[in-house]
Structure 1
Amino acid sequence: MEPKQNSPLLEGRSFDYVPLTERNGNLLSQTQLWFMINASFLTAATGALGPLSGLSLPWTIVAIVVGSVFGTLFQAFHGAQGPRMGLPQMIQSRAQFGSRGAVLPLVAATIVQFGFAIFYVQTGASSLGIVVKEVPSGLLQVLVGLVALVVATIGYRLVMFAEKTVSWIMVATLVVLTVGAVTLLPVGEMMANSTFILAPFLMQFAAAATFQVAVAPVVSDYTRYLPVNISGAKVSASVFGGTLVSAVWIEILGAILAIAYPKADTVGGFAKLSDAMLPGLAVVVMIVSLITCLNAVAVAFYSGSVAFLTAIEGFRRFTSTFRVRATAITVIGLLVIGASLFVPNSALGSFSVFLAILVYFLIPWTAVNLTDYYIVRRGILSISDILKQDGGIYGRWGKAGMISYAVGFVVMIPFFSTTVWVGPAAAAMGGADFSFLVGLVVSGGLYLILTRNFDRAAEYEAVAAAPINTIHNHEEAPALSTAGSTE
C-alpha cells in the first residue's frame, strides 16, 4: 500500500515539490541537522593533513578555520533555496542545465553520496568492532548498512529526528574529548611550535574548503521542508553555523590526535585518547561514533537516491512516489553494502582519490547554480517547469550552463592534486589543490557572460503564469513530475 504524501511517518516524496501544507521545522532543528552532517570522526582525517605534512598546529588551525569558512559560504547559500523553491537541491539544476543537460552533475552527486556511504559504513563498522571484537567486520558492515537503509527509506522525518537527538550526544562527547585532549596531551607544546610551511598550509586550507563545498549538493534536500516565509538569510546562517562548528571542531581534534598518535588511524586516535582519559571510555565513544556514522550513511542514501531518480526522470517519465524512492534506496543501498565488503581498508586511499575526482565535477555546478539563482534569475523560477520532463521554459539542454560547467571543469585540471596525478599549476604551489577556487570563479564568471543578454522581463511573465512558482509560491502541487510534459 502506497503511503500518503503527507504520512506522519513514511515520506511519500522524493524529487518532487513540497507544498506549503507539508512545511514544518525551525531553525534550531536545521542547525542541529547541519552540525551532524559533519559530526563524524571521519571528518578528523581532513584536519590531520596539515600536521602529517609537517605543518605546525597553530598554522593548521588557521588553515582549517579560514578554509572551512570559505567553503561553508557556498553550501550555506544553497540553504535559502530550499524553502523558497520547495525542491531538493540537484533538481534545481534543470533551470541552468535543462532537464537532460543536468544529468552529469546529477550522476556525479549520486556517486559521491554513495561513495561517501562506503566510507561511513566501514568507519561505523570499525567503531562497532572496538566494542564487539569477536564479531566479523563484514557482518558489522552489513548491519550498519541495513540500519541506515531503513532510516533513509522511512525518510526525512526520521532522518531529522535522529540527527536532532544524536546532536546533543555528539556535542557532549566532543566536549569530553576536547577536555581530555587539552589536559592529557601536550597541546601547549604543540601550540608553541609556530613553524610555517607554505605548501602544507595551502594543502590544509584547500582540503578544509573542499570538504565543505562537497556538502552543497544535498543542502536543499532538507531545507525544502521549512516554511516558505522563513528568512532566507537565517536559513543560510543556520546551515553555515551548524556545518562550520562541527567541521572546525572535529578537524582541529583530528590535527591534535595526528600529532599525538601519528601511527593511529582516525578512529584509533579517538579510541586511544578515550582510554587514556578513563579505561573503558573508548567503548562509549565508539558507540557514539557508530551512531553518527549510521546517520551519515542514512543521509547519503537519502540524498543520493533523490539525485539518482532526478537524473533518470529527465529521460524516462514516471511519478515520484514512496515506492519509487524506497526501491531506489534499497537497490543502490545494497550495492553500497556489497561494495563496502569488497573494498579493503588498504584500498581506501585509492578510493578516496576516486571520490575526490568526483567532487571536482560538483565544483562548477555549485558556481553555475548559485550565480543563476542569486544574480541572473534572482530567485524567480517556475517550479512547474523545472519538474516537467521536457524542461518546460528551461528546455532539455541548457547551453549556457553546460558550457560554463565544461569550461570550468577543464580549466580546473591543471590545479588538480591527488596521489595519482598532480597538475602543473598544483605542483607549482607545492601540491596544494586550488582547483575548487578556479572552478568556482571560471564557471560562475563565464555563466554571467553567456547570460548577459538574458531577457528577465520575458521569463518573469512566463514564470508568473506557471501554476507553481517562486513569485506566488502558495499553490498546492499537482502531479508535477509529468504535468505539462511534451515528451
Structure 2
Amino acid sequence: MALSVCTTWLLTYAPYVADYSRYLPRNTSPRATFGWTYAGGVLGTGWTMALGVILIASSPKFGIDPTGFLANMVGHSLAPIIYIVIVLGILGVNVLNLYCAFMATVTSIEPFTKIKVTPTKRFSILAICTIIATWLGIVGQGNLVTIMNDFMLLLQYIMVPWSAINLVDYYVLRRGNYSIKDIFDVNGKYGKFNWTCIGSYLISIVAQIPFMNVEGIYEGPISKAIGHADISWSIALILPAVLYYYGMKAKLTATGELQEIERIYAAKKIVNH
C-alpha cells in the first residue's frame, strides 16, 4: 500500500505539471522540465513521508491524531506554531487543488455545452467544488486514512495509464513535436478521436481488475493470491505504455508522420550541437 501510494502520488501529479509547464519559455528543454519537476516532487514529499514513517514507528498514537501528536511533542509554547504551519500548508495546497478541480470541470463540460467562463461562473464552479470537498471531509472524519488510501488507489487505476500514454507519446514517439493548431481542430491531422490511445487506456483499466484490492469494496484474485497486496500500479504503468507504443508507432509509420518527426528531431540535435 505504501509503495502504491508513493508511486501514485508522483504519477498523478501530471495534471498539475501540464497546467503550469505550459507557461515556461519556449526554449525550455523537456529534460529540464521533467528533471526539475521530478526532483521537486520527490524532495517535497519524500521527507514528509519519511518523517511519517519514523513517527508512526515511534508511537501508534501518531496514527490516531497526527496533528495533536506533533503539538504534544514540541510542547505547549510551540504547539500554536505547529497548528499554524499545518493550516497554512493545507490552505496553500488546496488553492492548487481547487484550481485543478475548476480546470477539470470546465474541460469536461465545455465540449458539450460551449460554456463561456465569466467571473460569476468561475466563482460558482469553485464554490460547488469547495462545498462538495468540505462535505466529503466532514462525512469522512474519523476514517481519513482509509478514505485517502481508497482515493489514491482510485487515482492509480485511472491516472497512471493516462500518464504512461502521455509520457510515451511525448518523449518516445513524437519527441515533443506537436501542431498546436491541429490539436484544437477536430478535422486536423490528429482527428477527433485517437482510438489507439482510447483502446490502450481501456484495456489497461480492465487488466488491472485482478490485481486490485480496495478495502471493503473489492479484491481481485491475484491480489488474494499474493497476500492481499495491490500491485495494479505496475500493470497500469507498463501495459498501456507497451500497447500504445507499438500501436501508435505502426500508425505513425503508415502515415509517414514518424519519419517526419525523426527528421525534425535530427535537425534539432544538429542545431543544438
- CA–CA separation in structure 1 for the residues paired with 2:259 and 2:243: 26
Cα distance in 1 for partners of 2:2, 2:152 equals 18
Question: Counterpart of 1:418?
Answer: 214
SS, match of residue 431 in structure 1: coil
Report 1:87-486 matches (<5 A): 203-265=1-63, 268-319=65-116, 324-341=121-138, 343-348=139-144, 351-352=147-148, 353-388=150-185, 390=186, 392-420=188-216, 421-455=218-252, 458-459=256-257
8 Å CA contact 2:8, 2:155 repeated in 1: no
- Cα drift, residue 391 of structure 1: 6.4
Task: State which drifts further: 408-417 or 228-237.
Answer: 228-237
Q: 1:359 to 1:310 in 2, by over 3 A?
A: same
The amino acid of 1:296's aligned partner reads V
User: 2-side partners of 1:236 and 1:358: how far apart?
Assistant: 21
Q: Tell me, yes or no, if the aligned pair for 1:415 and 1:424 is still in contact at 8 Å.
A: yes
Runs of 4 or more, structure 1, over 6 Å off, are: 460-463
Q: Give the C-alpha shift of residue 396 in structure 1.
A: 2.6
Distance in 1, Cα, partners of 2:167 & 2:145: 32
Distance 1:223 1:322 in 2: 24
| Structure 1 alignment gaps of length 5 or more | 1-202, 464-470, 472-487
* Contact map agreement 1:306 1:325 (CA 8 A) in 2: no
Contact 1:257–1:270 (CA under 8 A) maintained in structure 2: no
Structure 1 residue 217, shift from structure 2 partner: 2.5
Matching residue's letter, 2:215? T
Paired with 1:238 and 1:256, the residues of 2 have a C-alpha distance of 27
Answer whether contact 2:211 2:219 (CA < 8 A) is retained. Answer: yes
Question: Structure 1 residue 362: deviation in Å?
Answer: 0.8
For 1:304, give the aligned amino acid. Answer: A
Distance change >3 Å, CA 318–CA 461, structure 1 → 2: farther
Measured after TM superposition, the shift of residue 398 of structure 1 is: 1.5
Structure 1 residues 278, 335: CA separation in 2 closer, same or farther (over 3 Å shift)?
Answer: closer
* Contact 2:211-2:223 within 8 A present in 1 as well: yes
1:303-337 CA deviation, whole Å, 9 max, x = no partner?
A: 12112211222333345665554442233223323
Name 1:126's counterpart in structure 2.
Answer: none
Q: What is the letter of the counterpart of residue 367 of structure 1?
A: A
Deviation string, structure 1 residues 437-485 (Cα, Å, up to 9, x no partner): 111111110112222323367558999xxxxxxx9xxxxxxxxxxxxxx
Distance 1:444 1:453 in 2: 14
Greater helix content: 2
Shift of 1:416: 1.2
Change (3 A) 1:462 1:288: same
How many residues are matched?
259
Decide whether aligned partners of structure 1 residues 396 and 325 sit closer, same or farther in structure 2, where only a CA change above 3 A counts: farther
Shift of 1:234: 1.8
Counterpart amino acid of residue 395 in structure 1:
G
In structure 2, distance between residues paired with 1:459 and 1:315 = 31
2:70 and 2:82 in contact (8 A); partners too: no
* Alignment CA distance shift 1:298-1:365 (3 Å): same
CA–CA distance in 2 between the matches of 1:461 and 1:442?
A: 25
Quick one: which amino acid aligns to residue 225 of structure 2? Answer: A
- 1-structure distance, mates of 2:20, 2:122: 16
CA distance 1:331–1:387, shift in 2 (3 Å): farther
CA-atom RMSD, angstroms? 2.8
Letter in 2 for 1:247: T
SS of the residue 2:142 aligns to: helix
2:271 — aligned with what? none
TM-score computed with the length of structure 1 as normaliser = 0.49
Q: Given residue 206 of structure 2, which amino acid in structure 1 is its aligned partner?
A: V
Output the CA distance in 1 between the equivalents of 2:146 and 2:250.
45
After superposition, the Cα gap between the structure-2 partners of 1:296 and 1:350, relative to the gap in structure 1 and judged at 3 Å, is same
Q: 2: distance between equivalents of 1:310 and 1:254?
A: 36
Percent identity, aligned pairs only?
A: 29
The CA deviation string for residues 91-131 of structure 1, in whole angstroms up to 9 with x for no partner, is xxxxxxxxxxxxxxxxxxxxxxxxxxxxxxxxxxxxxxxxx
Q: Distance in 2 between matches of 1:436 and 1:207?
A: 9
- CA apart distance, 1:269: 3.3
1:373 maps to a residue whose letter is Y
Once the two structures are TM-superposed, the CA of residue 350 in structure 1 deviates from its matched residue by 5.3
